[in-house]
Structure 1
Amino acid sequence: MDSLALTSLPDLWDRVFASQPDPDRWVVIATLVAALAVVVPHGLWRVARNAITIAHEGGHGLVALLTGRTLTGIRLHSDTSGLTVSRGKPYGLGMILTAAAGYTAPPLLGLGGAALLAAGHITLLLWLATALLVVMLVMIRNAYGVLTVVLTGGMFLLVSWLAGPQVQAAFAYAVVWFLLVGGVRPAFELQTKRAREGARDSDADQLSRLTHVPAALWLFLFHTVSLCSVMGGGRWLLGV
């Protein structure tokens, strides 16, 4: 048994960190089309946006921890909204970075994922995503949030363990394309909501109060990060 464990550990390491061959070009294009087909129509987007909310709130939580704040909990709601609560000074660089991390997290995660896929690390991407979801699950504080994260993490786990290389590649590319193109839409939705309803508790408005910089400039930052990420990540994925 000990010998088996010792021999299986290097095998596991090789499985996770080894590079895999790039999928066929048609798979890359097809997964892009699939991501657009989910993000553009309003009906499908209302459901799929839950995954973007996971990344959004996870971004808040991760940066809160990295800047020394105490993460109290994360809540995900069925209307695709979310709330991340952390303790610490209600001002300063840590609070600013934490507030700015939400809208920038999905496209930046997509950009990082595109870099991994461009290097052939498909399995590593799937395992990293699963690990992040498991860590996030510990901080979820409501039943709907637990259900959403468990289902999402379970999907990643099943694909990474049971699926063949081609299915893993298609799934990984679809996820990264979704983060990239899906990361663009929320900033435009926020801009529309602020124009119609005010939305004075949005991340952009909180950042404006923290920094005395107009919320419109923070919205511009969100747009810049998401659009640059989709262009840069798209070039990596398409190999151009």
Structure 2
Amino acid sequence: MVAIDELGTLWDKLFSAQPDPPPLLVVVTAAVALAVVSTRLPWRIARNAVTIAHEGGHALAALLTGRRLHGIRLHSDTSGLTLSAGRPTGPGMILTLLAGYVAPSLVGLAGAWLLGGNRITLLLWIAVALLLAMLVMVRNAFGAVSLLATGGVVLAVSWYASPDVQAAFAWTSVWFLLLGGVRPVVELQRLRSRGRMPESDADQLARLTPFPPLFWVALFALVNLLALVVGAALLAGPILADAGLTV
């Protein structure tokens, strides 16, 4: 009976909705995330979270399309590599390559949807579960440490922090993914224009399809910008509600 009661308490904590955040929190967390994405050193550090989502996108797409996932590597220069086996051409390979650059923004969009329903605890615990799932497939020490550190921070916030701190952390993280998903696409095209990324996802997709690399870069940008717009509308719910409007 005690175990059932504890399970019920955990279920309620996980799926219950928290109160609406104050509109100021939504604005401040957006500003903080934008500052991190826009400035060199903070971006250099925080970009590891974007790389985790990027490689996670490759890995998930590989598994969903029936490819054999061999491992994920995360590097200290914020680059990463996901290795999978299967047909070198065809829809599975195309979707696996396509998933990387759009994954951070789509993860951010999913997070914005959860925060739109004030499911802060659920969002944080899902994040921990996804990071643990990636940890199983990581094949280098820096990648393991990076995932353990990121997961440890998220778990600590979800378990020990006050509701206000959890809200601030969750909104900042989701804003960061939405905004941070756009910058790597810009960086990708800048490096490509200098001939420094001949094996980029866009160039590999161009070799597998009739479309040139610039088409794929533009598609990455379009998906990520749409995710940013929709995610921002979801996150701005408390502001719009305060103004008597709805999303």
2:128 matched residue in structure 1: 130
Q: Could you tell me which amino acid in structure 1 is paired with residue 66 of structure 2? A: G
User: 1:209 & 1:96 partners in 2: Cα distance?
Assistant: 10
User: 1:211 & 1:10 partners in 2: Cα distance?
Assistant: 51
2:115 matched residue in structure 1: 117
Structure 1's consecutive aligned runs of 4 or more residues displaced over 6 angstroms after TM superposition are none
Q: Could you tell me which amino acid in structure 2 is paired with residue 184 of structure 1? A: V
| TM-score between both structures, scaled by the size of structure 1 | 0.97
Provide the secondary structure at the position in 1 that maps to 2:194. Answer: helix
Provide the secondary structure at the position in 2 that maps to 1:90. Answer: coil
Provide the secondary structure at the position in 2 that maps to 1:197. Answer: coil
User: 2:110 & 2:159 partners in 1: Cα distance?
Assistant: 22
Q: Could you say what the CA RMSD is over the residues aligned between the two structures, in angstroms?
A: 0.8
User: 1:20 & 1:67 partners in 2: Cα distance?
Assistant: 36
2:60 matched residue in structure 1: 62
- What is the Cα deviation at residue 197 of structure 1? 2.3
Query: 158, 179, 182: which is aligned to 1:181?
Result: 179
Gaps of 5+ in 2: 241-247
Q: Could you tell me which amino acid in structure 2 is paired with residue 27 of structure 1? A: L
1:36 matched residue in structure 2: 34
Q: Could you tell me which amino acid in structure 2 is paired with residue 33 of structure 1? A: A
- What is the Cα deviation at residue 139 of structure 1? 0.4
1:122-148 Cα deviation digits (max 9, x unpaired): 111001000000000000000000010
Q: Could you tell me which amino acid in structure 2 is paired with residue 147 of structure 1? A: V
1:88 matched residue in structure 2: 86
2:243 matched residue in structure 1: none
Would you say how many aligned residue pairs link Structure 1 and Structure 2?
238
Q: Could you tell me which amino acid in structure 2 is paired with residue 189 of structure 1? A: E
- What is the Cα deviation at residue 43 of structure 1? 1.6
User: 2:117 & 2:177 partners in 1: Cα distance?
Assistant: 18
User: 2:207 & 2:33 partners in 1: Cα distance?
Assistant: 35
User: 2:78 & 2:196 partners in 1: Cα distance?
Assistant: 19
Query: 235, 239, 243: which is aligned to 1:237?
Result: 235
Provide the secondary structure at the position in 2 that maps to 1:200. Answer: coil
Give 1:1-240 correspondences, 5 Å limit.
3-239=1-237, 240=240
- What is the Cα deviation at residue 212 of structure 1? 2.4
